Structure 1
Amino acid sequence: MKTIMEQQETTKTGVASGERDKVHVFAPATVANMVCGFDVLGFALHEPGDEVVIRRAGEPGVRLVNITGDEGRLPREVSRNTVSASVISFLQYIGRCDIGIEIELHKHMPIGSGLGSSAASTVAGLYAVNKLLGSPLSRRELLPFAMEGEELACGHGHADNVAPALLGGITLIRGYNPLDVVALPAPPALHASVVFPHVDVPTRDARQMIRTKVALQDAVTQWGNVAGLVAGLFRNDYELIGRSMQDVLIEPTRAILIPEFYEMRRLAIDAGALSFGISGSGPSVFAFAQNAEQANGITSVIQAHLTAQGIGSHGYMSKINMEGPKEITNKHAVI
C-alpha cells in the first residue's frame, strides 16, 4: 500500500516513488564452460560488453526503438529479440504490462563470438528495467528471465553465461531443476587472456556436434577435473587450477571447428598460461594467467600467430569481473 506522500508523488510526476524515467546499463561478456565445466561453469569479464538504455514511454507496450553495432543481424521484432522478449516476460511476471517501455540496444561485442553476446544484451536489459521500476526483483530472481532469452537466442536455456553476467564473478550451476546457482571465489591474481578469431562457429552447430553418449572412464576424468578446479579456486591453488582445466568430452570435437586451436594452445602454454581452452562454443579461446603482464603477453602472441595465418582477431585481457552489470550514470558516456 502506497503512502499518501507516495501517491502524491506519483500523481505529480507519473513515476512512483523509487521508480525512474530512464536507466542506462552495461553488462559484461562471459566465458562459459571454463574448459571442463560444460554448461555448469562460467565467469564474467570486465570487457567487452553491451549497453542497454531503457526509458518510459507514454503508451503501454514494449518497443525496440534502436539497435546499433549489430550490422543488421539481430531481430527488430520485440517477440524475437532477446532483450525485448525477456523484458516483456519480466513485466508480465510483476504485473506491470500497463506501462510503456522503449529500449535501445548498443552492441559493443561481437555476435557469435562464444563470449555470451546474447547473454550480455539480455542481462543489461533486465537489470535496467528492474532498476527503472524500483528493483522489485533481486538479481537471482531475474535469472529465469535471462535464461528465456538464451533459449530464444540459441535454442537452449542454459545459465552458464547469464548467471556470471548477472551475478558477477565465477558461478557454478549446480542444477537446473530447480535452478541452483553457487558463487565461487576468484583467486585475486587470476587474469584471463581472451582472443576472438574472426571465423564463424554458430552456437547451434557447435552444440549439435557434441556426443550424446560418453565412456564411463571419460566421465570419471571430467568429474575429477571439475572437482579439482572448484577446489583450486577455493584454495587459491593456481597449479591445481591449471592441471584441472582439461576437457576430454567436448573440446576434442569443438576444437575441429576452430582453425589453429592446438597451435594457439601450445603458444599460450609456452607463454606461461595456467590453462587454455574454448570460450563457450567458440571460436573465442581463453587462457588463465597469474598476472596482467603475463595475460597481455599471451593475448599478443596468439593474435600475432593468427595474423601470420591471415586470420583477424580481437584480443582482451581482464581480471574476473566480480560486479556484473552496472548502471552508467555519466550522461556524457559514449554509446
Structure 2
Amino acid sequence: MAVSAYAPASIGNVSVGFDILGAALKPITDQVLGDVVEVHDGKEEFELESDGWFAGKLPQDPRKNIVYDAYLGFRDFMKEKGLSVKPFRMVLHKNLPVGSGLGSSASSIVAAVAALNAFHGYPMSRDEALRLMGKLEGKISGSVHYDNAAPCYLGGIQLMVEERDIISEHVPAFSDWYWVSCYPGIQVSTSEARSILPKEYSRKDAITFARQLAVFIQASHTGNDLLAAEVLRDVIAEPYRQKLIPGFQEARDYSREQGALAMGISGSGPSIFIVMKDLEKAEKVQEWLKQHFIQNEDGFCNICRICEEGTVITEL
C-alpha cells in the first residue's frame, strides 16, 4: 500500500489578519506549488528519503527533519488510542523553499500528517490532525499558529477562531481575483521577522487592525470585492518587515501602476503577493517581478487562485 499527500503553499496573515487569517494558493498553470509526502510499506519504524528543488536545504539527518517530528506526534497519538504504527518508508518531495513566507514548514507538516493518517486508515479526525499540525508548527515558530496549517490542510481562506473547540472557519474568496505570488530567492527567518516588530502598539493601530479585519470578513461574506480590497492592508507587521525585503516598495509602486487591488507580505516574508483582477496585467506584473524583484536562481513567481481543495490525498 502507498499514499501521497499534496499540501499547497499558503499565505499567512493575508495582510489584514496577523496570525489569524491564512489562504491556500493554487497556480493557474500546472506548476506544483506545495510539498508532497508519500508513505509506502516499509521494513523499518521510520525511513525518509528527500528530493525536490529545495531538498538540499534540509538537514542531512532525517531525524532532524520536521516530518520526523510529525511521525513522532502521530505515533504518540496512535499509542494513546491503543494502536500501533505500521513500518513505512516516507518520501518528501520538497518543492517549497525554507524561510520563504509560503508556509514551507506547514506544507511539509500537513502533507506528512495527512499521508500518515491516510496510510493507517484515518484514525485521526480532521480536527485531531489539524491540532497536531498546529502543535508541530509551534515547535518551529515558538508558539502555535494555525494561519498556514489550516488553509494548507482545509483549503481556501481560513479565519482562526480557536474558541469552543472550533479551530478555524472558512471565509469566501473572490473567484475573479488573481494572486501573484513571488518568492525573491532570499530567506527571512520567522524569528527575525518577529523580533523586528514592536512590543506594543498604539490604540489607533489596534482599532485600525480590528476594523479592517472585521470589514474584510464582512465584505468577503457579502461579495463586496472592492471594499474587501480597500481594507486589505497591514498596520501590524508590514511597516516594520518591509525593510527586510529588497525592492518591496518598488514592487508596490509598479503593481499600483498596473491597477493592483492590494499588495502585501506573504507570512513573515520575503515572498509577497499582489491581487489583480485582469489576467493580462497580472502577467505583466509577474514578468516585472521576475526581472526586478527576484534576487537569484532560487526565486520564482506564480499567478494563483485561492486553492479551495487544500490537501489532496492520492492512492499510489
TM-score, normalised relative to structure 2: 0.90
- Cα distance in structure 2, aligned partners of 1:128 and 1:173: 24
Q: How does 1:230-245 map to 2 (within 5 A)?
A: 230-245=217-232
Aligned to 1:72, the other structure's residue is in SS state helix
What per-residue deviation string (whole Å, max 9, x for no partner) do you get for residues 161-212 of structure 1?
0000000000001237856311111122122111111222112111111112
Instruction: Sort the Cα spacing of 1:22 and 1:178 in 2 relative to 1 into closer, same or farther, 3 A.
Output: same
Aligned to 2:128, the other structure's residue is in SS state helix
Q: How does 1:193-212 map to 2 (within 5 A)?
A: 193-212=180-199
Please tell me the residue identity of whatever aligns with 1:278: I
CA deviation after TM superposition for structure 1 residue 311, in Å: 5.6
- Cα distance in structure 2, aligned partners of 1:235 and 1:296: 28
Q: How does 1:266-277 map to 2 (within 5 A)?
A: 266-277=253-264
Aligned residues: 307
**In the alignment, is residue 295 of structure 1 matched against residue 290 of structure 2?**
no
Identity of aligned residues (%): 32
Q: What residue is the counterpart of 2:179 in the other structure?
A: 192
Please tell me the residue identity of whatever aligns with 1:50: D
- Cα distance in structure 1, aligned partners of 2:310 and 2:55: 26
Do the aligned residues in 2 keep the contact of 1:83 with 1:149 (CA within 8 Å)?
A: no
Q: What residue is the counterpart of 1:125 in the other structure?
A: 112
Please tell me the residue identity of whatever aligns with 1:39: D
CA deviation after TM superposition for structure 1 residue 25, in Å: 1.7
**In the alignment, is residue 80 of structure 1 matched against residue 67 of structure 2?**
no
CA deviation after TM superposition for structure 1 residue 68, in Å: 4.1
Please tell me the residue identity of whatever aligns with 2:246: P
Please tell me the residue identity of whatever aligns with 2:4: H
Structure 1 range deviating more: 32-41 or 171-180: 171-180
Aligned alpha-carbon RMSD (Å): 2.0
Q: How does 1:103-122 map to 2 (within 5 A)?
A: 103-122=90-109
Instruction: Sort the Cα spacing of 1:300 and 1:98 in 2 relative to 1 into closer, same or farther, 3 A.
Output: closer
Structure 1 range deviating more: 71-80 or 50-59: 71-80
Please tell me the residue identity of whatever aligns with 2:47: R
CA deviation after TM superposition for structure 1 residue 58, in Å: 3.1
Q: How does 1:131-146 map to 2 (within 5 A)?
A: 131-146=118-133
CA deviation after TM superposition for structure 1 residue 42, in Å: 0.6
Q: How does 1:132-281 map to 2 (within 5 A)?
A: 132-175=119-162, 180-281=167-268
Please tell me the residue identity of whatever aligns with 2:65: N
Structure 1 residues without counterparts, runs of 5 or longer: 1-20
- Cα distance in structure 2, aligned partners of 1:183 and 1:317: 22
Do the aligned residues in 2 keep the contact of 1:86 with 1:148 (CA within 8 Å)?
A: no
Do the aligned residues in 2 keep the contact of 1:78 with 1:85 (CA within 8 Å)?
A: no
**In the alignment, is residue 50 of structure 1 matched against residue 35 of structure 2?**
yes
TM-score, normalised relative to structure 1: 0.85
Do the aligned residues in 2 keep the contact of 1:28 with 1:325 (CA within 8 Å)?
A: yes
- Cα distance in structure 1, aligned partners of 2:54 and 2:130: 24
Please tell me the residue identity of whatever aligns with 1:121: S
**In the alignment, is residue 35 of structure 1 matched against residue 15 of structure 2?**
yes
**In the alignment, is residue 318 of structure 1 matched against residue 304 of structure 2?**
yes
Please tell me the residue identity of whatever aligns with 1:35: S
Q: What residue is the counterpart of 2:30 in the other structure?
A: none
Structure 1 range deviating more: 64-73 or 98-107: 64-73
CA deviation after TM superposition for structure 1 residue 54, in Å: 0.7
Structure 2 residues without counterparts, runs of 5 or longer: 28-32
Do the aligned residues in 1 keep the contact of 2:101 with 2:270 (CA within 8 Å)?
A: yes
